[in-house]
Structures are given as structure tokens and as C-alpha cells.
Structure 1
Amino acid sequence: MLQPVKIAALAAAMLLAAVLPGRAADTVTANDTARYLAGMAPSAESPLTPLTKDPAWQHHARFLDSAFAQLEQRQLSKIRTWADTNLSAPRPTMFYMFSGPDFLYANAFYSKASTYVLSALEPPGSVPDLMKLPRGGLGSALNNVEHSMGSILNFSFFITKLMKVDLRAGQLNGTLPILYVFLARSGKTIRDVSPVALDDKGTAYFANENPGPNATHGVRIVFAGSDGEQKTLYYFSTDLSNSGVKSSGFLKFCETLAPGNSLIKSASYLLHAGNFSTVRDFILVNSATIIQDDSGIPLNDYNPKKWRFFPFGRYAGPIGEFPGRYQQSYADLFRRSQPMDFGIGYRWRSYESNLLLSVKLPTDGSGSVDATPAAEPAPPARPKRPRQPAAADPRRSP
């Protein structure tokens, strides 16, 4: 016969077992938050599920369904096809300097990477508990998310002046909410999110660890695709100028993940300037392949004995916002370019976009090239320029 104390203990254990599942269900996971912000239904047991009945969220979901369907058809699917055709055996790491929260194009160009390192000036911010937003605040928060993504959904890049305002406004601030949306809309499942900070030696500190003064702050997101393979996304808020990287451990941290592949687009031609030479040299030394538009590394800074060039599209020169950045050597190279059927960069219309794939050659003759286009480029017939409705070029300044 059980003693009263044991009966009481058993009853308490049974009560605890009954209560814990309910408490677990009250927890809003990062993945459910990402899906909700992306206009996608969270898991059935999520506390956010009742909030999908809000007319503001339903309008938000319809807007993003339409916007991402168009983006997928117009660009992302074509970029993935281009990458599958022209890249083979990529490195596990990809670097994307001056990226903002642009995981969309990082994933489209280098979908086989297992570690993504994004970096820009914008702070990572945080994602608040959506269950605790003030009454009536949900609609304005979701509208701010839509507004923050407007330029990249339409033109393939963030407009810096607008992003500085958008990512500091409202309940949802910083790059993290946008990263959440892009991960969810790319079919990823978020498994863990944690703050990360780097000391001046490039050592990473997580959670409440203290990296000391002058730390570089960011966020680490562990996620998986449909195949279940675990991957990692880092985003760091950092100054990439020479003086900025000299006083931080960001490039030292990147060195621990090198060599990798790099993406550079809509970079305000900063790598053409002398005060960004350190990060430019880092990319050249630590990249097996570089995909860029003409706002990336100037062609004359590549050593032609170390690189093989594959131009795609049309080089029409920089937009008027960036005078003095025309490259005659780029124009000469693109006379033998291959066609491409998607737009990228500041000249976002497909018929005037340029893309350069640079492949580093083996240094000792014994290795294989990390990425090799399937066929040697041949000068194609220049397609007739299609008629397009007039539209003002968006502008982005450093």
C-alpha cells in the first residue's frame, strides 16, 4: 500500500507531466516566427496560429505570396539554373560582403554552401515576441517588413538610404526579421538563433560570453533545407573600410572559414576605392570563385595569371549615381560575353545587366578548379534590345 507522501509525489508528477506539454506549446519558436513574418502558416500548435486570422496578416500573406512568386519566376529560378550550369564543386563557405540581410541571392547563387557569412553596416537587431506586440501594432509591424524588402523584391538590391531608416523603425528592427523572412521563403527550417560577437582576434563568443571592448556583433542562425542537412548563416554588423577591419576581428574570423566563394553585387563601387583595399585583397586571396557585377572588384585588380574570367550579359557602364567608375577593360572583356536571362545589380533589367564569374586557377598544377563553366564562352549574337516601359533607375549611395 502506497504511503500518503508517495501518493502525493505521484500525483504531483502526473500533474507536472500534464502541464509541461501545454507550456511547451506556449513557446513561440524562431521557425514559427519566421514563417509568420514571411506570410506562411506556422505549425498548427504554435501560439501564433490564431494570429493568422488577423486581416492584417492575411493581407501580408497575400502580398508576399504574389511578390515572391514573381521574384522566383523572374530571377531566383533562373539564377539557380545558371549556377547549376556554371558552377561545380563549390567550397563549403560563401562570403557576401556589403550584403545587408540578402540571404535570397546568397542562397540562389551558392545553394550548396554549408556556411554563409554576410556582413554590412546595418545592425542585426532582434525579433520581439509577436505575442506581446501592443494592441493594433501587428499591422504596422508587418507593413514595415514589407516596406523594408520593397527594393530587393523589385530591383535585386537594398537601397542603403532607405534601409538605414526602415531597419531602425517600428517594433521589428535590424536585419534579423528580414533574414527570417528570406530563410522561410527559401524553404529553410530555423533550428537555432543566437547572438554572436567577435573579439579583435576573431574568436567567436556566444550567449552571455564577454568578448571584450570593440567587439563585432552579429547573429548565428542554424537552419536546414528540405534535405535536412544542417547549415549555418552568420550575419555581422561591421565597418568594412580599412580602418574598420583593422580594429575588428571580422576578417580574422573569416580566415578560419576560408577558402570560400564570394558574391559581390550592388556594392556602391566601394571596392574601387583605396580605403576598402584590405577587404578587397581578402576576397581575392581567400576566394576560389567570385561572382560579381561591375560594382565589385575592378578588373584591373585581378591578376590575370591567377584567374580565369567568364563574362555574362552586357556591360552598359555604371548608372549616373556613380560617375567615374566606367572600366574600359570590363567593356573589352564583355565583348565575348555569354547571354543571361535574369537581371542583377543596379542595372537590374535583364537586357542591360552584367555578371562576371572569376575562377581562381590551381597554383601548383596538381589541383582541380573549384568551379568550371560547362562550356567555353563564345561570342553570341547580340539580341535586340526589347522595348520596356520607361522607369526611373533606383538609386543607392554608400
Structure 2
Amino acid sequence: MLQRAKIAAVAVTMFLAVAGPARAADIVTADDTARFLAGMPPSAESPLTPLTKDPAWQRHAKFFDNAFGQLEQRQLSKIRAWAATNLAAPRPTMFYMFSGPDFLYADAFYAKATTYVLSALEPVGSVPDLTRLPYGGIGPALYDVERSLSSVLSFSFFITKHMKTDLHAGQLSGTLPILYVFLARSGKTIRDVSLIALDAKGAAYFANENPGRNATRGVRIVFAGSDGEEKTLYFFSTDLSNGGVRSSGFLKFCATLAPGNSLIKSASYLMHSGSFSTVRNFLLANSATIIQDDSGIPLADYDPKQWQFFPFGRYAGPIAEFPGKYQEQYAELFKRSQPMDFGIGYRWRSFESNLLLSVKLPSGDSGRVDATSSAEPPRQTQPRPRRPRQPDVVQPRGFPWFSAWPWR
């Protein structure tokens, strides 16, 4: 009996040694899924690795290598250089209202943040097990991802009108697949993904916890960069109008992470309206710095006793789709702007883009900066680059379905 027991124990040990790794290899991790969707090879032992032999995935990988390579050269590397020169003493938290799933630019502007809070109307969605897609389903699923990202890769912003369709259609839905792609293409490793809900008081609930009625739904993604430091990305699907934020716990949750730095771009001039005054006032009260284009907070809403302004680029006024949003104060301020070598916002060509860096003055600082004046940025140590004589940003090729401008 003793001998049989020993043989049985050895057999069980051998079985676990073989079967254990096999079961582990059957697990599709969030990071491998993100890399696969981004056109980057997943880990060697991933069940998704055999799918990379599919010609549809290989075409997708080449397409994204080219598109993200152009974006890196054209904008992202220049934004990181601009931020390194002009942003001092970064806060751990960054807020990006009206963002959609745009982690790409949040990371480019505020690479040193450790907590990112993104928010918009778009749904969180889900990422299905890609190994269970029907035969021939890989190509259409990847094409859906490409189509969803076409405008942000071409022009630096999402077109809301298209997102309402793109993020509800196909095998991959919502913002989560896009967040996965941006994290992978930004060199991040995803370590944990969990759904999150906020109750009316801003308390967070996970898994099967009940947040009560009218909860604000979102996702929390824990990731790490090349240095291994863990960071957290939140995306919340929420209505940022006055009625929406006053009936939810979203801003209460944000207040627990404040003060932070804020990014606002391609925000449809919503905060020019009294219907979005609550989120506008929150950002003004809880931001140490605000980076925005002219579609963000109107210059007249900044208290010049509390803020110092550093304009970059050229203010050409709003595009035709947003009439009545021209700001005389903005135009006056930008008469003394510094040049910048990248495009951003609705006027996405570098020679007509504008960017305003607003820095909150220390409490009790008696220095006053008038709304029509500007000063040298806190860390402006490099010589000013010469303004390019011609546009250095041209409409990228590869997105024929965006040859026209079907705006919001």
C-alpha cells in the first residue's frame, strides 16, 4: 500500500507539472489582448499567438505600425518634448474631461502622472475572448478597431458623431478596446482590469458590489511603463452637463484625487455654455495647471488674480462648425504667443493650432497676470523654434472614409 501511495503521489506531481502550465497558457491576459488589438505580438505562450499568422492580423499590424509611427513623429514626440520643457512640478493626478478613450494624448502631455481620470458619454464596453471569435471574424473585428481610431490618428481627436456608431457596432464595442490599443502602443503593460461603479457620494464599488441606483459606471486599469512603476487609469461613462454631474458621484470621486493637472481639447466648446458650468468650475478650483485649446474653458472664466497664462501657437478662431465662439481676449493674448511645432485640436494643422497653458498661482501670491498678458513659462529653457514657413502636418493617408468632414 505504501509503495502504491508513493507511485500515485509521483504520478499526481508529474500531472500537475504538465497540466499546470497548460492551463495557465490557456488564459488570455488583458495585456496580450491589448497587444494583439494594437498589432503587436502577444507573449509567446499566449493562446492569441497562433492568430498572429492570420493574414488579416499581419495586415493590421503593418497598418498600425505605419499609422502610429507617423503619429509619433508628427505629434507625440513633439508633445512630450514640449511638456518636458514647459511643465514643472507635475501633480500625481490628471483630469481629462470630454476625453473619450483618448489615453494617448493624456500620456503624451502628462507622462509623469500616476493616476489618469478620463470621462465622456461613450460606453465602457467590453473585449470578448478573441480566441472564440467565429471563423473569419478576426479581420472584421480588427477593421472595426482601425475605423474607430481613424480620426484620432489623423486629426488628434475623436469625432463624436462617428463614435456613437463605431463604439456600439461589431464584435468589439465601447471604449475599452481603444484604451487597450493606446496603452499597448504607448509602451504600457496592463496588469489588472476591473469594472468600477460610483455611488451618489463618489464611493467606489467593484466586482459584484451594489452601488445603488443611478451609479456612474467605469473601468479601472492598472498598468506599468518601461520603468515598472504602477499607474492607474480610470475611464467613466458619464454625462458632464450640470444635471448629469450634480446627480452623480463622479466629481465627488475626482475631488478625492485633487488637486491635479487638466487637459481639455476638442471639447466642442461645451464649457462656453452655462449648461456645463459645474464641471468648468470644478476644473478651475481643482487644477494646478490646465492645458487646453480654445474649445476648453473661456478665457473670461479664469480669475486673472489666480492664473498665469502661457499661450503657444496661433489663434485662428473656431472652425465654421462652431460659430459664435470667437474670443477677443484669446486673440489679444495670442498676439504674444510662442511658436509650437505640432498640431492639436480642431485646427489640427500645426501652423494654425493653439494651446494655452494656464498655471495657478501659489496661494497668497500677490502677482497679477492680466488676461491679455503672458509670461515666460516656468521651465522655458530652450530657444524658441522658428515658425515653419509651410504646414508640416499633412492629412495622413490610409483613411479614405474620412476624406470628407462629417462633423459632430
Alpha-carbon separation, structure 2, partners of 1:200 and 1:346: 34
Residue by residue over 1:27-63, the C-alpha shift from the partner in whole angstroms, topping out at 9 and shown as x without a partner, is 1110000000000000111111110000000000000
- Answering whether residue 396 of structure 2 is matched by residue 375 of structure 1, we say no
Alpha-carbon separation, structure 2, partners of 1:36 and 1:181: 8
One-letter code of the match for 2:234?
Y
Residue by residue over 1:241-296, the C-alpha shift from the partner in whole angstroms, topping out at 9 and shown as x without a partner, is 00000111000000000000000000000000000000000000000000000000
RMSD of aligned alpha carbons: 2.2
Partner residue, 2:236: 236
- Answering whether residue 259 of structure 2 is matched by residue 259 of structure 1, we say yes
Partner residue, 2:85: 85
Q: How far off its partner does 1:16 sit?
A: 2.4
Alpha-carbon separation, structure 2, partners of 1:9 and 1:394: 69
The runs of at least 4 aligned residues of structure 1 exceeding 6 Å deviation read 376-382, 387-393
Partner residue, 2:315: 315
Partner residue, 1:148: 148
Q: How far off its partner does 1:82 sit?
A: 0.2
Q: How far off its partner does 1:115 sit?
A: 0.3
Query: Structure 1 residues 376 and 225 mapped into 2: Cα distance closer, same or farther (>3 Å)?
Result: closer
- Answering whether residue 301 of structure 2 is matched by residue 301 of structure 1, we say yes
Alpha-carbon separation, structure 2, partners of 1:148 and 1:59: 17
Q: How far off its partner does 1:356 sit?
A: 0.1
Partner residue, 1:218: 218
Alpha-carbon separation, structure 2, partners of 1:16 and 1:385: 66
Q: How far off its partner does 1:364 sit?
A: 2.9
Alpha-carbon separation, structure 2, partners of 1:285 and 1:185: 33
Alpha-carbon separation, structure 2, partners of 1:379 and 1:71: 23
SS in 2 for 1:318: coil
Alpha-carbon separation, structure 1, partners of 2:394 and 2:213: 52
SS in 2 for 1:85: helix
- Answering whether residue 79 of structure 2 is matched by residue 118 of structure 1, we say no
Q: Is the 8 A contact 1:92 1:113 kept in 2?
A: yes
Q: Is the 8 A contact 2:194 2:221 kept in 1?
A: yes
Q: Is the 8 A contact 1:88 1:372 kept in 2?
A: no
Q: Is the 8 A contact 1:310 1:377 kept in 2?
A: no
Partner residue, 1:60: 60
Query: Structure 1 residues 127 and 386 mapped into 2: Cα distance closer, same or farther (>3 Å)?
Result: closer
Alpha-carbon separation, structure 2, partners of 1:378 and 1:185: 31
Structure 1 range deviating more: 11-20 or 306-315? 11-20
Query: Structure 1 residues 53 and 382 mapped into 2: Cα distance closer, same or farther (>3 Å)?
Result: closer
SS in 1 for 2:2: coil
Partner residue, 1:227: 227
Alpha-carbon separation, structure 2, partners of 1:59 and 1:380: 38
Name structure 2 gaps, 5 residues minimum.
367-375, 396-401
Q: Is the 8 A contact 1:71 1:153 kept in 2?
A: yes
Partner residue, 1:188: 188
Alpha-carbon separation, structure 2, partners of 1:147 and 1:382: 33
Q: Is the 8 A contact 1:98 1:267 kept in 2?
A: yes
Count of residues paired in the alignment: 393
SS in 2 for 1:233: strand
Q: Is the 8 A contact 1:86 1:372 kept in 2?
A: yes
Partner residue, 1:42: 42
Q: Is the 8 A contact 2:92 2:260 kept in 1?
A: yes
One-letter code of the match for 2:177?
P
Q: Is the 8 A contact 1:76 1:105 kept in 2?
A: yes
TM-score, with normalisation over the residues of structure 1? 0.94
Query: Structure 1 residues 389 and 311 mapped into 2: Cα distance closer, same or farther (>3 Å)?
Result: closer
SS in 1 for 2:16: helix
Q: How far off its partner does 1:135 sit?
A: 1.0
Alpha-carbon separation, structure 1, partners of 2:317 and 2:404: 14
TM-score, with normalisation over the residues of structure 2? 0.92
Alpha-carbon separation, structure 2, partners of 1:138 and 1:214: 36
Query: Structure 1 residues 378 and 186 mapped into 2: Cα distance closer, same or farther (>3 Å)?
Result: closer
SS in 1 for 2:236: strand
Alpha-carbon separation, structure 1, partners of 2:179 and 2:393: 32
Partner residue, 1:288: 288
Alpha-carbon separation, structure 2, partners of 1:5 and 1:383: 81
Alpha-carbon separation, structure 2, partners of 1:184 and 1:379: 33
